[in-house]
Amino acid sequence: MTPIGEHTTVRTLVGRLDFAEVDPTSAALVVIDLQRLCAGADGEHADKARELGRWDDIAAYFERVSDVVVPNVRRLADAARQAGATVIYVRCRSLTPDARDNGRRFHDFGIAVPCDSPQAELIDGLELQEGDLLLDKTTASAFLSTNLDVLLRQLGVRSLITTGVVTSGCVESTVRDACDLDYEVLLVEDACADRTPQLHEDTMRRLHNNFAVGVTTRTALSALGAPATLEGSASGR
């Protein structure tokens, strides 16, 4: 993650969020939108980029997802399960066959994942395991169109370890809402991705010590008390 110049931010004047110890039994790993639609090189958004002749502009994003984000999310999920934390996958998927229950922004952006669409499937390398939870959303924030907040409170969760795509979109919306709902939020920089490195880095800069604490996979694993066999992280832009 690009170092953040604190002297350029309002946090210098009004305060900042700092890293807090994580109790794994009251923590959840939240994995956002790592589905075929927007994170798979064989998905709808990738196909659209090819049709428009824009694949070269976005290929690095899909490479980061497959080579960096997915391996790190797998490490985090394994560690979370072993530590007694909850693993929650959130994806874009409507309740209706024609996606008429989508939020206005999804409608306007043409984001339509009907209830029977393969675009809702988790991308290669990720799979639900016993005890994991899967929520479907029709808005950018995972909190606005799911029962995520109620679910977390019923599970006694206070800390969120947040991952997924895209950093400046659904990840950022979810992080901001989580902070305002008084959750302690770790945002795992090398387990997120955006369409360009600049979008990703700008979002990390906005959110770090502001609505979340930006960390690496290695730091998040350590916070979960991961054994040495799980420590480390994939690297890349």
Whole-model pTM: value is 0.91
Asked if pLDDT for residue 237 goes beyond 80, the answer is: no
Polymer length in residues for the chain:
237
- pLDDT band at 182, cuts 50/70/90? very high
pLDDT of amino acid 119: 95
Q: Report domain extents, the chain.
A: 6-226
**Spatial CA neighbour of 6 closest among 197, 224, 209, 167:** 209
Q: Are 203 and 174 in contact (CB under 8 A)?
A: no
Q: C-alpha 234: how far from its chain's center?
A: 16
User: Which of the pair, 83 or 231, is modelled with greater confidence?
Assistant: 83
- Contact by Cβ (8 Å): 30, 174: yes
In angstroms, rounded to a whole number, what is the distance separating the alpha carbons of residues 102 and 189? 29
Q: Which fold has domain 6-226?
A: Rossmann fold (3.40.50)
In sequence order, the β-bridge partners of residue 88 are 30, 133
Greatest extent of the chain over all pairs of C-alpha atoms, in Å: 50
Residue 215 φ then ψ, to 5°: -135, 170
Tell me the C-alpha distance between 233 and 231, whole Å. 7
- The per-residue pLDDT for range 117-145, each reduced to its tens digit, is 999 999 999 999 999 999 999 999 999 99
Measure the CA–CA gap between 28 and 159, rounded to whole angstroms.
Answer: 6
- Per-chain mean pLDDT for the chain: 91
Query: CA nearest 209: which of 27, 35, 14, 39?
Result: 14
Residue 91 has, within 13 A of its CA and on its CB side, a CA count of 27
SS3 label, residue 13: helix
Residues 6 or more apart from 108 whose CB is under 8 A from it? none
